[in-house]
């Protein structure tokens, strides 16, 4: 699913709590420090509906939007696409790159070690 950065911001606002009206989406986005205009947000909502990332139901005169893809599923899809596209399906070069650029701190390393230990226990 190809979602732009601005569409993702709208989707994140919907993931917070749903179903949600367009006015509530605008309010959530404006609470992030940027000024979002109604027309822009409605255009982005329309794109997300067309891409089948979200859907809606009508309640009286309002449209209430809800996600068709969970945040976790989207993150998995994007990370899988990144690893497949840039790292030939291997995870270790990604972490090697972060290590070389000093992007990993001790907490990250400890968490990775725990994940590997859990994976080893579950896959023995």
Model pLDDT for residues 73-100, shown as the tens digit of each residue = 999 999 999 999 989 999 999 888 888 9
Q: Could you give the C-alpha distances from 31 to 11, 25, 47, 85, in angstroms and in order? A: 15, 10, 22, 35
Q: How many CA atoms lie within 13 A of 41 on its CB side?
A: 22
Question: Backbone phi, then psi, for 60, in 5-degree steps?
Answer: 65, -120
5 Rama sector, left if φ>0, alpha if ψ -120 to 50, beta otherwise: alpha
Q: What is the mean pLDDT of residues 101-113?
A: 90
Against a cut of 0.85, is the pTM above it?
no
């Amino acid at each position: 699913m190809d979602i732009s950065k601005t569409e993702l911001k709208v989707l994140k606002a919907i993931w917070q709590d749903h179903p949600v009206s367009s006015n509530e989406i605008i309010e959530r986005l404006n609470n992030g420090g940027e000024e979002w205009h109604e027309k822009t947000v409605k255009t982005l909502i329309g794109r997300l509906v067309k891409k089948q990332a979200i859907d809606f139901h009508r309640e009286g005169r309002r449209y209430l939007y809800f996600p068709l893809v969970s945040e976790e599923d989207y993150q998995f899809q994007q990370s899988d696409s990144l690893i497949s596209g840039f790292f030939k399906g291997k995870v270790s070069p990604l972490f090697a790159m972060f290590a070389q650029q000093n992007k990993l701190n001790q907490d990250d390393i400890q968490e990775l070690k725990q994940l590997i230990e859990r994976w080893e226990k579950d896959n023995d």
